[in-house]
Amino acid sequence: MKAIVAGATGTLGLRILKRLVQDADVTSIVTLTRRRLEPGGESAKVTQVDIEDFLQANDATDRLIGDADVCYWCVSLTMDPSEMKRVVDVVTIGGIRRLLDARTVGRPLRLVMLSGHHVIHAQDTAPKDVPNRDFLILRGQADVFALETAQKQPALLETYVAKIGGVERPERPLSDEARQRMAQFKVPLIHVDDLTSALVFVGNGGRHIAGQPATVLSNDDLLACGRQASSV
């Protein structure tokens, strides 16, 4: 199996990458990042591609990514409004278009998009009082693009949007204040190891349901996937 990890230098991207490096079924991995991987992410299986080079169509990158089975999209957004728009439009939506344009094989790419619990997909039904609503709407546009593209072109793309809650990491415990804020806004929690297992389980096809090319996974769904992953 060939995997792509976009944002592999980040907290979650690097964890996913390390899992894939250990997975005997994964034979090669392409990372899309704006800086070099730190030790721990490097392996003979891994080819590092600069994400800006990837965004400019070129044959060399197309050959590398055109036959991938799965892509984990772990690029995060900044709160700076102009940069945020670029990350949504140019990096993420542009990046998904590039992945599809480069396709050389007749099976769909499984795209696992890392998103957030409160990210807004349907403006009319979203709570009006949620903090950073504009950010969450803009952020949701990338998810909606990926979901709608999979609905329209199921032979090319299968999308899973993971609406992740607060991530508990033993090396960096959440402060009491952060916990209180999450409780106030009803953000559920998930342990980083369960989350990583869940995302890799989904990426390996564990949540595939025939005829369902676009799926949104709640934090509870991810907890269930994490449990399923550890029971196999």
76 makes contact with ligand NAP (CB under 6 A)? yes
Quick check: 34 binds ligand NAP (CB under 6 A)?
yes
How far is residue 68 from each of residues 4, 63, 99, measured CA to CA in Å? 7, 10, 9
List of residues 6+ apart from 124 with CB closer than 8 A: none
CB proximity list for 219: less than 8 A, separation 6 or greater: 117, 163, 164, 165, 188, 189, 190
Hey, how many other C-beta atoms are within 10 angstroms of the C-beta on 32? Answer: 28
Query: β-pairing, 70-73 with 166-168?
Result: unpaired
Task: Examine residue 33 and tell whether it contacts ligand NAP (CB under 6 A).
Answer: yes
> Using CB under 6 A as the criterion, what x/- string covers residues 3-22 for binding ligand NAP?
----x-xxxxx---------
142 near ligand NAP (CB under 6 A): no
Q: How far is the CB of 87 from ligand NAP (least distance, A)?
A: 5
For position 29 contacting ligand NAP by CB under 6 A, the verdict is no
Q: Based on the shown chain and the rule CB under 6 A, indicate whether residue 102 belongs to the binding site for ligand NAP.
A: no
Work out whether 71 is an interface residue with ligand NAP (CB under 6 A).
Answer: no
95 binds ligand NAP (CB under 6 A): no
Compute the distance between CA of residue 107 and CA of residue 205 in angstroms, rounded to an integer: 13
Report the residue count for the chain: 232
Query: Rounded CA gap, 121 and 44, in Å?
Result: 39
Contact residue for ligand NAP among 30, 91, 109, 142 (CB under 6 A): 91
Helices (H), 23-157: 51-55, 59-65, 81-86, 94-101, 133-152
User: Taking the complex as a whole, how short is the minimal distance between the CB of residue 132 and ligand NAP, in angstroms?
Assistant: 12
Closest contact distance (angstroms) between CB of 188 and ligand NAP is 11
Interface segment toward ligand NAP; rule CB under 6 A; list 71-79, 97-105, 197-205, 207-215: 71-79
CB of 162 to ligand NAP, least distance (A): 8
Q: Please give the residue ranges that form the binding site for ligand NAP (CB under 6 A).
A: 7, 9-13, 33-35, 51, 74-76, 87, 91, 114, 116, 164, 167
